[in-house]
Structure formats: C-alpha cells, structure tokens
Structure 1
Amino acid sequence: MLTPVLDTKPKTDWIALAEEVLAGKELTKEEALGILHAPDTEVLSLLQGAYRIRSHYYGNKVKLNMIINAKSGLCPEDCGYCSQSIVSNAPIEKYPQLSKDVLVDGARKAKEAKAGTYCIVMSGRRPTDKEVDNVIQAVREIKEQHNMKICACLGLITPEQARRLKEAGVDRFNHNINTAASHHANITSTHTYDDRINTINAVKEVGMSPCSGVIIGMGETDEEIVDMANALRELNADSIPVNFLNAIPGTPLGNMPKIGALKCLKVLALFRYINPTKEIRISGGREVNLRHLQPMGLYAANSIFVGDYLTTDGQKTQLDHEMIEDLGFEIEECAFDSEPPVLTK
C-alpha cells in the first residue's frame, strides 16, 4: 500500500507579506524567488495577496493602452526576439514612418476602444529629427481633439529630442530594459543595457513619465527575473509593461517554448509585490502564454494593451472589455493621474 507523501514545508502567508509590503517592506531576494517558486497550489492565495496590494492603490480600475506601429521593420538592431530586426526573416510588413494624419486617426480608434493611453511606437535604433517633428505635429493635434495620455516609444533619443517631445505634450516615454543586465548580451549586441538606462534617465530629466518593462521567456533565470523587477523599482518606472515572449518564426528566439500560464501569474504577482505602487501592464504575448487564465492576471496587474501589437495579433477588443466586466472591474477610460500613488510606510 502506497503511503501519500505530505508536503511538510511551511506555506508562506501571502496576505501577511502583502500587508508588510503596504507598510513599506522591500522583498528580500529569497522572498522574491519564493514567489516564482511557489507551488502551483498556492497561486490563488498568492494572487489574493497581490490583489490586496493592487486594490489598495488602484481599486478595481483597469487602464487600457493601444499601440500604433508608426514605423515597421527597417531596423539595424539585432534583438533576438524582434520580427523587425535586421537578423529577422519573419514575413512582416515593412514601411517608413506613417504620416501625421494616420497617427492622429489612430488616436481616434484608440479612443473608440476605450483606451486612455495611445502609444506611438517606431522601429529603429533612434529617430531622426524629421521623424520627431512628425510625431510632435501629430501629438499636438491629438491633444486638441482627444483627452488622451500619449506615450511615445521611438528608440534611443537625445536629451534635446526628449525635451521637444515633452513640450509638445507627450506624457510618457517607453523604453524597455527587456531583460536583466546579466542576460542582455545574449539578446542583442548592437546596443548595451546602459544605453537603455541612459535613455530612461534622459526621459526622467525632462519630466516625462518613464515607462519601462521586460520580456519574460528569453532564456533568463528566475534570479534574473527578480533582478529585472528590482531594476525597474530602482529606476522608479511609473509604468511597467510585462511582456511574455511570443516566439516568432524567423527570429533567433523563434523556437523558444511558451511559458506556462501559472508561471506567468507568478511573474505578475512578483512585479506587483516588488513595485506595489506602479502601473503593471500585461502586454505582448498574454494571449498565447496566459491563454484562458488571462483574467486572473488582472488581480495583480492593473493595465493591459488592447488591439493588436506591433507585428502580432491581439485579442479582440470586445473580448477584453467583456473580460474586465466579468471580473467586476471597471475600465478607466481617461488615464490621467496627477502623480503615481505613494507607498506609505
């Protein structure tokens, strides 16, 4: 007769840990790894703790972001995950920067999708001044016509370009760290991790809100995932998009395996525990990695992208709206927040 093996390891009280975080505690490396290594049977209680933190700062509000791919392909960088890079053979549409009118019309579509933030994203290492001029003209018109927050993602920008974008009305600038400093050289060789950090700091210096996130599933270790979350805390990024690799055939990382849905939920919880006051956004790859557990991710995250991504399809916007409604959550259509929430100690 087989004797059942009982798990005698003491379980972590995730709610108690969440209360400590709300009181100002910063997780140790061991505690952070404990989240990623938690038994699958503890995911519900882990998410309950993450939701305790999320609801304290954001209630049941969900912020929607929508992307326009303002320039596709034609990129000299060799990022292994990206279908637009020079080393990619993925069959994607390639085109130069879209016109001002197309960018402005994209904001109208984002507004119709109930997005509070419209994200203008361009491929390439860095924008030319002419490309920045076009974005600035579009931003000014969008601000006149729509009450929307605008996020720009244009690559490595100069301090002068950052200043001009801020003056034109760009609220937020995205530049992801993508991975841990220790893993960066395995993902790209055409720019450094410090190049990315310097761009984020240039954005902060002119008063734009910094947005920076990660891509999970590129061969990093759990220790490096913790390092990413801590690095973004140290950068004080206001918005943190958490992408889960959607491995695209024709890219160097095109054969990477999908991440398990429960692992994705643990990652989202980790980012909430380490960055309790920040906007945590479930981003690219959620449909193919979280799959049917997508709604559960919103107990840790308070933001998602709606519509399509840069070169991959997203879930139908109506399904996202229904998912939020079914959770009993509420879409925050105008996502202007005067200041990020402050962690009370």
Structure 2
Amino acid sequence: MMVGIRYDWQKAEIQAIYDTPLLELIYQAASIHRQYHDSTKIQVCKLISIKTGGCPEDCSYCAQSSRYKTEVKPQALLEKETVVSIAQTAKQQGVSRVCMGAAWREVRDNSQFETVLEMVREVTDMGLEVCCTLGMLTTDQAKRLEDAGLYAYNHNLDTSQEYYSTIITTRTYSDRLHTIDNVRQTNVTVCSGGILGLGETVDDRVGMLHTLANLHPHPESVPINILSQVPGTPLENQPDVPIWDVVRMIATARILMPTSDVRLSAGRARLSQVEQALCFMAGANSIFSSDDKKMLTVTTPCPDYDADREMLNLLGLEMRPPSQRPQKVASPTSTTR
C-alpha cells in the first residue's frame, strides 16, 4: 500500500521515527524509497563556486565568511565562459545537475546578477538541471531566475529554529523561510536541508526535519550535509558525526518526505563505500561529484568522478538523467510560521 504524503507531522512522531531501531528504520525507509523512486538511479551533481569568499555573514561553519581567517581567498565572480566550460565537462562525466553557489548575503540587482542569469540560461540550454544558491532573494529576483530557466534554488535551514542563532547571528530563521516562500511564488523547485555536526542535539535535528516536513509542498530536494571542520572557523574542533547519525537522518527524511530527493552532500568524502551504500539503502538518491576533488572551496573535499563511477558500478547503480522542467504549481500557503 502506497504511503501517503503528509504536511502535519508532530515532533513526537518524528522523534519516534528517528529512534526506531536502526536496521528496522533503514528497512522502512528503503521500502518507502522504492514506492516513489527508482532505487537503481542516483543523481550526480556538480557544485561550482561562481563567487568565492568575502561573505559578510557569520555562519560558524563556513570557510567563506570574511569574519574568519581561513585558507579561502576572496575571488571575483567567475567569467560566464568559465562556468559554461566546467558545466560542459561535468555533463560529459554523466552529471545531470549543476549547482552554482555565490558567497553573497543576498542577491542584488546589478551587473553580477545579470551575469548569473546568463550562466543559468546557457547551462540550462545544455539540457542540465541548474540550481543556484545565492543567499536571500526577492520574489522578483526569483521570477527572473525562473525566466532564465532555473530548475532549483537552494536555501538551507541548517538546523532547528531554536539552535539557529547559536550558529548564525547575521540573519534569522524567518529570513530563511521568507526566501523559500519567495521561490515558491515561481515554478522553481526548492532545495533545502541542513548540516549535521554543528553541536546540535537530537532535538534540534528533529526540529529541523519538523520544519521541512511541514512545508507545503515539501522541498523537492533535501540535502543532508556533514560538517567539514574548517580551520579558522568557530566550529573547527567539532567532533566527527558518527555514520549512524547520518544514516538515521537520511532514513527519517526519506520517510517524512517520500517524493523528495535526499542528497548526500558535503562531508561525503570521509565516508567509505560501505558507509555510502548504507546511506543509499536508507533513501539517499543524489551525490555531489567533482573533477578536482573539491566541492565548493578548497576546504570542502569531494570525491572525484572516477571514484564515484567505480562505486556506482560496484553497487549496480546508474546515473540519473536530468528531469524535465516542473509544471507550474499553484501558489501554496505561506511556509512562514
């Protein structure tokens, strides 16, 4: 019997799912995953840092904040031709989604945004899904991105509303939800998830999933990131996240949001093939891969195309082709609470 999609999850229900004995939890998540997805397909994504460093935000985990002394040196917005060339190489390697990230607090209506719109148009014209993560944006800016062909917009919640101000003080949780609302006024899909290893409690993890699972509709994409401890940031000495916690989060997210893509994102480089296989069994159906062993910056390692192709072949998994542009959705009720 097909499991239904809900938007009225209670925290106690989510806690009970998260606390399910691990192997039973994986089994339940794997069963639901197969009802809504082809379990033999994994989407391989490429993340391009189109504007690196110098961000005024104080996100405690981030190498690109101007407030911390890290290895990342600020760089200007990449040339459009450079981004298009990187995307072309990624497509040749089987990548079906290219994500463009800029270290901005928010999108500004200037020549740089015009250049980003051109990047989106040209990479979309290659037949790839294009996702952007550019910080906060207005409804009008979201509509301009939609007109350029943007497939998805990433804006992570990072953690629970209660713990959020411990990690970031330069914007609020409501700011995050407001940007998601603005994207929902368009045909652009939403990518929103969080980070494990920030010093959060299980209650915080449950709280973040509660917020995501009660958005209507659910984010089409839910990245589960594992903290990469960056020297020079306030979280540089955080302990590694146990693999079992990662698997629990992926499985719980899969059960709560059956139709969403659950993305095993940052931090995957330190997981073995066996550990990654557990994540796929638990419902993850997307990874980020690279040609230079870097995900976003020099401080965030990422497995390369050859290693990932070897792993997918070993597990009998195939790279998923790009999806068609989603149809226009009716304006949902506001996500902001």
TM-score when normalising by structure 1: 0.86
Residues 38-72 of structure 1: per-residue CA shift (max 9 Å, x gap): 4xxx4333212211111111122111111000011
Who is 2:122 aligned against? 141
1:1-345 superposed matches below 5 A = 22-24=3-5, 28-38=10-20, 42-60=21-39, 61-128=41-108, 129-144=110-125, 146-235=126-215, 236-288=218-270, 292-299=274-281, 300-307=283-290, 308-311=294-297, 312-336=300-324, 338=326
- Alignment check: 8 A CA contact 1:248 1:254 kept: yes
Which is higher, the Rg of structure 1 or of structure 2? Answer: 1
Structure 1 residues 121 and 338, CA gap change in structure 2 (3 angstroms):
same
Structure 1 residues 186 and 333, CA gap change in structure 2 (3 angstroms):
same
Structure 1 residues 158 and 337, CA gap change in structure 2 (3 angstroms):
closer
How far the C-alpha of 1:248 sits from its partner, in A, is 1.0
**DSSP 3-state at the match of 2:225:** strand
Count of aligned positions:
317
**DSSP 3-state at the match of 2:178:** helix
- Identity level (%): 32
How far the C-alpha of 1:123 sits from its partner, in A, is 0.3
**DSSP 3-state at the match of 1:137:** helix
How far the C-alpha of 1:285 sits from its partner, in A, is 0.8
* Distance in 2 separating the partners of 1:93 and 1:109: 25
How far the C-alpha of 1:134 sits from its partner, in A, is 0.3
* Distance in 1 separating the partners of 2:88 and 2:98: 9
- Alignment check: 8 A CA contact 1:264 1:290 kept: no
Structure 2 portions without partners, runs of 5+: 329-337
* Distance in 1 separating the partners of 2:4 and 2:182: 31
How far the C-alpha of 1:113 sits from its partner, in A, is 2.4
Structure 1 portions without partners, runs of 5+: 1-18, 341-345
- Alignment check: 8 A CA contact 2:146 2:187 kept: yes
- Alignment check: 8 A CA contact 1:261 1:290 kept: no
How far the C-alpha of 1:97 sits from its partner, in A, is 0.7
Structure 1 counterpart of 2:303, which letter? Answer: Q
Who is 2:335 aligned against? none
* Distance in 2 separating the partners of 1:57 and 1:36: 20
Who is 1:7 aligned against? none
How far the C-alpha of 1:122 sits from its partner, in A, is 0.3
Residues 176-235 of structure 1: per-residue CA shift (max 9 Å, x gap): 111111111000111111111111111110221111110111111111111111211222
Alignment RMSD: 2.0
How far the C-alpha of 1:316 sits from its partner, in A, is 1.9
Structure 1 residues 289 and 268, CA gap change in structure 2 (3 angstroms):
same
- Alignment check: 8 A CA contact 2:55 2:66 kept: yes
- Alignment check: 8 A CA contact 1:54 1:302 kept: no
Residues 84-108 of structure 1: per-residue CA shift (max 9 Å, x gap): 0122211123201101111111210
Structure 1 residues 337 and 324, CA gap change in structure 2 (3 angstroms):
farther
* Distance in 2 separating the partners of 1:175 and 1:283: 14
**DSSP 3-state at the match of 2:161:** coil
* Distance in 1 separating the partners of 2:200 and 2:25: 22
